Amino acid sequence: MPSTRTSGGVRLDVVEAELLATGLVSAVAALKLQPPGSHTSLLVACVVYKTTTATTTSPMRPRKNDEELLARARARLPAYMVPRLVAWEALPVNRNGKIDRSRVLAEVEERFRHRQEELDAADVAVPSDGAVMTPTERKLKDLWCRVLVGIPPAHVGPEADFFAWGASSLDTASLIAGIRDRFDVQMPLRTVYEHPRLAAMAACIDQEQPQTFAEHAEAIKAVLRHDSTTLVKEVATSF
């Protein structure tokens, strides 16, 4: 009987069993980690596909198989247990022939760290298709790439879909927090789900920002009115 492995309230062994049950993968190692720059932990499933649609020299290169596996995972697992997929050619094993999870974790952490360094140094504003992006779209794209650890920035253009990259509910919460910090806009959860494409989401941010600035301006005017009224009263009572 397989052992029970739990991390952060998530049954990792169940995640692995359900992914294996799809029939698309031959090996799975599920784990949780906190990527560099992230405020939340990330559920990752390192998978070896039975058939591949692309050759690769990197064990973390995205595969076309991911879309089908994610769809089946969402049908079999609750939302909080649907992992970010990382495709491998083969998972490392220990001398007993079992998956060496400590090595898997160490390599994933190192690759995510290296990926973050590349992201910090790169110009993520320019998609591979050369699409022109607005300032808000560029800033939002950078946020997406930091929240959705591992997605290739060059593939994220104005029509990219946040949830098509496998975004989870935790990713969505991180995105909303990031939008609040970067744009001073409190984006409702419903808006994210109704406008998941980069350009549409950026347009929603642009619509909210003038209202935010207007509110700030009105608050300042109110303070000035209050202060001026208080000053007049103080002057009047001093005589």
What integer pLDDT is reported at residue 60 of this predicted model?
Answer: 39
In contact, 24 and 64? CB cutoff 8 Å:
no
pLDDT digits (tens, 9 = 90+) for 137-186: 999 998 998 888 767 777 788 988 898 777 878 789 989 999 999 999 99
Do both 12 and 114 map to the same domain?
yes
Residue 79 DSSP symbol? G
Tell me, yes or no, whether 127 lies in a domain: no
Asked whether the CA dihedral 11, 111, 35, 105 is positive or negative, the reply is: positive
DSSP letter string, 141-191:
HHHHHHHSTT--GGG--TT-BTGGGT--HHHHHHHHHHHHHHH-----HHH
Tell me, yes or no, whether 187 lies in a domain: yes
In contact, 151 and 116? CB cutoff 8 Å:
no
Q: Nearest CA to 70 among 169, 172, 165, 196?
A: 165
The mean predicted confidence, pLDDT, of the chain is: 79
Higher pLDDT, 16 or 227: 16
pLDDT band at 3 (very low <50, low <70, confident <90, very high): low
Do both 117 and 24 map to the same domain?
yes
What CATH number is associated with residue 184? 1.10.1200.10
Report the pLDDT averaged over residues 234-238: 51
**Residue 234 burial (CB < 10 Å; 0-12/13-18/19+)?**
exposed
The length of the chain in residues reads: 239
pLDDT band at 127 (very low <50, low <70, confident <90, very high): low
Q: Which helix (H) or strand (E) holds 63?
A: none
Residue 29, domain extent = 6-121
Q: Nearest CA to 112 among 154, 148, 144, 149?
A: 149
Tell me, yes or no, whether 130 lies in a domain: no
pLDDT band at 233 (very low <50, low <70, confident <90, very high): low
Do both 73 and 177 map to the same domain?
no
Tell me, yes or no, whether 100 lies in a domain: yes
Do both 196 and 232 map to the same domain?
yes
Residue 11 in this model has a pLDDT that exceeds 60: yes
Tell me, yes or no, whether 141 lies in a domain: yes
Domain count, the chain: 2
What integer pLDDT is reported at residue 62 of this predicted model?
Answer: 42
Residue 25 in this model has a pLDDT that exceeds 60: yes
Do both 148 and 88 map to the same domain?
no
Do both 171 and 197 map to the same domain?
yes
Do both 146 and 229 map to the same domain?
yes
Which of 97, 121, 145 represents a domain boundary (last residue)? Answer: 121
pLDDT digits (tens, 9 = 90+) for 37-88: 666 678 899 999 997 544 443 433 444 677 789 889 989 999 888 888 888 9
Which tokens in the block code for residue 237? 């009572």
Indicate the pTM of the whole model: 0.62
